[in-house]
Each structure stands twice: as structure tokens, then as C-alpha cells.
Amino acid sequence: MYSIQINEKRIKGKRNPMIYGHFIEHFHRQIYDGIYDPGNPLADEDGFRTDIIEAMRKIKVPVLRWPGGCFVSSYHWKDAVGPDRKPLFDKAWRVEDPNTFGTDEYVKLCRKIGCEPYICTNAGTGTAEEMSDWVEYCNLETEGQYAKWRIANGCEKPHKVKYWSIGNENYGSWEIGAKSSDEWGRLVRESAKMMKHVDPETELSAAALPDVDWNMNLLKNCGPYLDWISIHQYWDMMAEVQNPATYEECMAYTKNISRSVDDVRGMLTALHLEDRIRIAFDEWNLRSWHHPNVHTQKLGVGKESYLTPRDKNDDNSLYTMADAVFSACFLNAMNRNCDIVGMANFAPILNTRGCIYSNKEGIVLRSTYHVFDLYVNYLGDQVIDLWSEDTVPVIQVRSKSGEEMVVESLDLAATRWSDGTGVAIAVVNKHMDESQEIALDFKSGEASVIVYEITGESKDSYNDVGRTEVEIMDKNLGRFVPGMKIRLKPHSVNVIQIRNVI
């Protein structure tokens, strides 16, 4: 028996809504034929899909990072504003981008979703000037040619974009305009200076990774100018070959799931920056995107070798309870690290590996969507302490690379409502086929217990067009009794609400 204890008086902090952020890129059907679908009866007067926006609003998307991702490293924002858009040959993804969805459309979309915009700039082929011109266009009232251009384009008021990231994965050989560590430190510093001089209220991030040399050089050069440091992680790597890890192999990925955060936290602390700079985990997903023959020396010739295979991301049967359980463990870990992790962005929100799938007729809410719904709408607003005197039960799993490992089979996080109306405990049962029992070993006033549960008949259950196997189900367990036991189904994500509102 695994008995859990909580203490409402040991409040670790506000449960940060920005942990449940998202990312959308000009890739495959995320923007065009995705959220931006002019002419579709489901689209509004601006061409945005209202069914998709409604689904995004339900999970209270707090921030949406755009336009990339690799796409951004040869993207020029000026080609995508105003009346005559210049079509772009997107050298990252080797497709034509009509540039009909640009900054003004993006900001309008964010207003409709009710989320903060978060713009990632081109630090591949771009310059400090181009980045700071973008801030002028978005944030100055009327000063200078770019604010005037925005007004001429019909946007009288400034867009007030607060969050900006300098560059995307510029450390990687796959990235257009990749930089050495020294080059990166200087470019970020000069870009940050110009961007802050345009609008000192912007919050700036820069592409980083859990690598000491890259980060130390970046932070030594730019520490005073940065508010965030960006890291990305995908676990089940399928860029070239779509051979998805099994449920069991995905559970292996949950071991040390916050390793990157721990490493970057250490570097920030070593440089005494941990109070000023926070981590933006601004791309994460269990599954990396499938796009063969673009990120390698062997570039594909012929669309069937590099373009057609991208449709394989649309196979909804890939997104099972493994994705839901992994994502819940990741979000719990970011919550536990909410003192240093200020933002996390699921990559992406729509299509590709997203939590929402769309086609011309409608949408499918994949298993991961329901985890966001559960965590955003059913947990309390404060993170509180949770512990146990029992050892955490474990499972033996084999990783995708064939390594045997032992992984904790329960993952928990506790919250409370600051209005004192109760607590809500997130409990993930990772076990592939066994239910597990926990005991609520704490006192409470008069309260009722409801369990909100996401699971499926099998660990491989998934949702698709005309097929709903995974959704949030609720069970009323009646009055809270100290020490009461709750049985959690295998491969399930649960929120146990103990509330004293009748």
C-alpha cells in the first residue's frame, strides 16, 4: 500500500498556468490547412477554424509560441505583413509558404484564443536589426517606420508582444544559420540590446540546451539581458523513421524526466542567475516529428522522399495512453520545478504530434488533449507538499535502445485551492496492466471525493475520427474518510478532488 500525505500549509507556490503552454509552427498542416483554413465553412471571417479555437480555449492555452522551430531560421517577417505578401520558399522544410499568415494574423489569432503571443525570431540568417525592427512593428505606438507600417496595415494599436525568443536551436548542425558558441553569445547580446532598447518591457529568451559550454558562454555574454533560457526535448526520436516506441518503452523515457531542467538549474545557480532567469521549456513532446530526408546530409530528391512521408504524423493511432501518461508525468515534473520553470510549450498544439488533430470536416481530441484539460481545469491553483513514508512501487521496463531499467510506477503532484475549498491530487499509474491502490493518509474537514480519470481499455487506446476510446471520466467516491483507499486503473492519469464544497 502506498500511503500519501499532504500538507496544505506547505505551499510550494502558485500553480503556474504558463506550464500548460503550446507551440505552433509553419510545418505541414499546423498553420495552412490547419488553424488557418480560409474558405472552410468551419472558418471565421479571418479564416481561422472556430472548432479548433474553441478546443484551444477549453484548455485555456496561456501562451502560443510561433512561427518556428526550424522554419524561423530563414524566415523574414517583413515579407508576411501588409497588402502584398511575398511567397517564401521555406528552406527549412523545402515547401512554398504563401506568407498569407503573418504577424498580424498570428496576433489576431492569439486574441481569439485568449493567449499571450510568444514570437521566436530568425537568428539563423536574420540580424539584430531585423529582430528589433519586428519589436518596433509590434510594440511601438507610432514611432519609426515599422510602427507606422503596422498602423497602415490596419492595426492602430500596438500588438504588445511581451515574450520573444532569440533564435531556435542555433546550436544544431541541422539548423539553417547554425552558430558556434562564441558567435551565439555575441549575436544574442547585440540582438537583446537592440530589442530591449525598443521595448524594455519585453521578456527575452535565447536558444539553449543542457550543455555547459554553450550555456556558460551564452549566460556570461548575455545574462544581464535575458529573462528566460529556452530548452527543447523530444524523447522518442522518429524524424527519419516512424517506428514509435511501445508503451513500455515510453515508460522508460519517464525516468529522470526533468534531467534537462536539473542540469540547466545547476548552471543558472552556478552563475548566480537562478533568481533572474527562468527556464522556458518551449518545445517538448514524447514523440519527435516525422520529416525524413531534410535534417540529414542525404537530402531527399523528389517529394515522395521528403514531403509525402510527413502525412504519417497524422496517424492518430500513434497517440495512445503512452502519450497521455508520459505527458502527465512531464507536466507534474514541471510543476514540481515551478520555481525555475516559468513556461513549457507542447510541440505542437495542432496536427503533426499535437494534442488536437484536424481535417476539413472537424477535429479529433487526442489522448494528450485530455491531460491538458484535466490539469488545467481540475487542479487547485497552488502547489502543496506531498510525501509518503512508503517506498514508491516500481516497474521493470526495457527502453527502446534495449536497456533494462527500473522506473517508479506512480507519479504524483498535490495542489490546493487558495480559497480553502479543498485539495486536488494528480496521480499517474504508469503500470501497463496492473491497477494500484493508494491511501489518502491525511485529515480533512467535511469533504467529498471525486476522481477524474483518463484511461482506455488498453494501454494502446487512442482517439480518431468516429472513435473515442480516451476521455475524462468521473467517479464520485462519497465522503472523505482519513486513510481511505483509492484504486487507480492501469495506464491512467487521475485527479483526485477532495473538496469541502457541498
CB proximity list for 376: less than 8 A, separation 6 or greater: 17, 20, 59, 60
- CB-side neighbour CA atoms (13 Å) of 102: 24
Residue list 350-389, contact with ligand AHR (CB under 6 A): none
Among the listed ranges 99-107, 129-137, 437-445, 464-472, the one in contact with ligand AHR (CB under 6 A) is 437-445
Residue carrying C-alpha cell 544581464: 224
Position 283 contacts ligand AHR (CB under 6 A): yes
Query: How is residue 115 written as a grid cell?
Result: 493567449
| Residue 83: strand, helix, or coil | coil
Among the listed ranges 13-21, 62-70, 252-260, 323-331, the one in contact with ligand AHR (CB under 6 A) is 62-70
Query: How is residue 414 written as a grid cell?
Result: 498535490
Q: Which is nearer to ligand AHR, 340 or 449 (CB)?
A: 449
Position 242 contacts ligand AHR (CB under 6 A): no
Instruction: Report the residue from 271, 447, 472, 477 that binds ligand AHR according to the rule CB under 6 A.
Output: 447
Residues in the chain: 502
Handedness of CA 262, 204, 221, 92 (dihedral sign): positive
CB 144 → ligand AHR: shortest distance, Å?
Answer: 31
Position 165 contacts ligand AHR (CB under 6 A): no
Q: Report the distance separating Cα 82 and Cα 101, nearest Å.
A: 11
CB 198 → ligand AHR: shortest distance, Å?
Answer: 25
Q: For residue 240, what are the CA distances in angstroms to 33, 38, 252, 263, 299?
A: 23, 32, 21, 28, 11
CB 56 → ligand AHR: shortest distance, Å?
Answer: 20
Q: Report the distance separating Cα 374 and Cα 453, nearest Å.
A: 8
Backbone angles phi, psi at 233, to 5 degrees: -160, 135
Q: Which is nearer to ligand AHR, 41 or 478 (CB)?
A: 478
Of 440, 437, 427, nearest in space to 492 by CA: 427
Among the listed ranges 63-71, 111-119, 259-267, 321-329, the one in contact with ligand AHR (CB under 6 A) is 63-71
Helices (H), 96-236: 103-113, 128-139, 144-152, 181-198, 212-222
Among the listed ranges 51-59, 141-149, 314-322, 439-447, the one in contact with ligand AHR (CB under 6 A) is 439-447
CB 435 → ligand AHR: shortest distance, Å?
Answer: 23
The beta strands (E) that lie in 301-447 are given as 341-346, 356-359, 362-365, 382-387, 394-398, 404-408, 410-416, 422-429, 436-440
Residue carrying C-alpha cell 512501487: 393
Pair 192, 166: CB distance under 8 Å: yes
Instruction: Report the residue from 218, 356, 423, 495 that binds ligand AHR according to the rule CB under 6 A.
Output: 423
The DSSP code for 85 is P
Instruction: Report the residue from 16, 121, 168, 345 that binds ligand AHR according to the rule CB under 6 A.
Output: 168
Query: How is residue 173 written as a grid cell?
Result: 548542425
Instruction: Report the residue from 200, 302, 445, 466 that binds ligand AHR according to the rule CB under 6 A.
Output: 445
The beta strands (E) that lie in 125-176 are given as 163-166
CB 191 → ligand AHR: shortest distance, Å?
Answer: 18
In this structure, the number of other CB atoms found within 10 A of the CB of residue 122 comes to: 25
- Binding-residue pattern over the window 193 to 232 for ligand AHR, x denoting contact by CB under 6 A: ---------------------------------------x
Over the Cα atoms of the chain, what is R_g?
23
Residue list 291-320, contact with ligand AHR (CB under 6 A): none
Q: Which is nearer to ligand AHR, 90 or 248 (CB)?
A: 90
Q: Which is nearer to ligand AHR, 25 or 105 (CB)?
A: 25
Q: Report the distance separating Cα 307 and Cα 293, nearest Å.
A: 9
Among the listed ranges 41-49, 73-81, 398-406, 441-449, the one in contact with ligand AHR (CB under 6 A) is 441-449
Instruction: Report the residue from 4, 25, 48, 59 that binds ligand AHR according to the rule CB under 6 A.
Output: 25
Pair 373, 309: CB distance under 8 Å: no
Among the listed ranges 67-75, 141-149, 155-163, 188-196, the one in contact with ligand AHR (CB under 6 A) is 67-75
Position 422 contacts ligand AHR (CB under 6 A): yes
Q: Which is nearer to ligand AHR, 31 or 407 (CB)?
A: 31
Position 21 contacts ligand AHR (CB under 6 A): no
Backbone angles phi, psi at 193, to 5 degrees: -55, -50
Q: Report the distance separating Cα 471 and Cα 160, nearest Å.
A: 37
Instruction: Report the residue from 67, 68, 117, 185 that binds ligand AHR according to the rule CB under 6 A.
Output: 68
CB 266 → ligand AHR: shortest distance, Å?
Answer: 24
Instruction: Report the residue from 97, 116, 133, 169 that binds ligand AHR according to the rule CB under 6 A.
Output: 169
Among the listed ranges 40-48, 329-337, 442-450, 488-496, the one in contact with ligand AHR (CB under 6 A) is 442-450
Position 288 contacts ligand AHR (CB under 6 A): yes
Which residues lie across from 97 on neighbouring strands?
88
Count the site residues for ligand AHR by CB under 6 A.
21
Position 326 contacts ligand AHR (CB under 6 A): no
The secondary structure of 294-328 as a DSSP string is SSSSS---SHHHHTGGGGGGG-GGG--HHHHHHHH
- Binding-residue pattern over the window 109 to 148 for ligand AHR, x denoting contact by CB under 6 A: ----------------------------------------
Instruction: List interacting residues with ligand AHR (CB under 6 A).
Output: 6, 8, 25, 68-70, 168-169, 232, 283, 288-289, 420, 422-423, 442, 444-445, 447, 498, 500
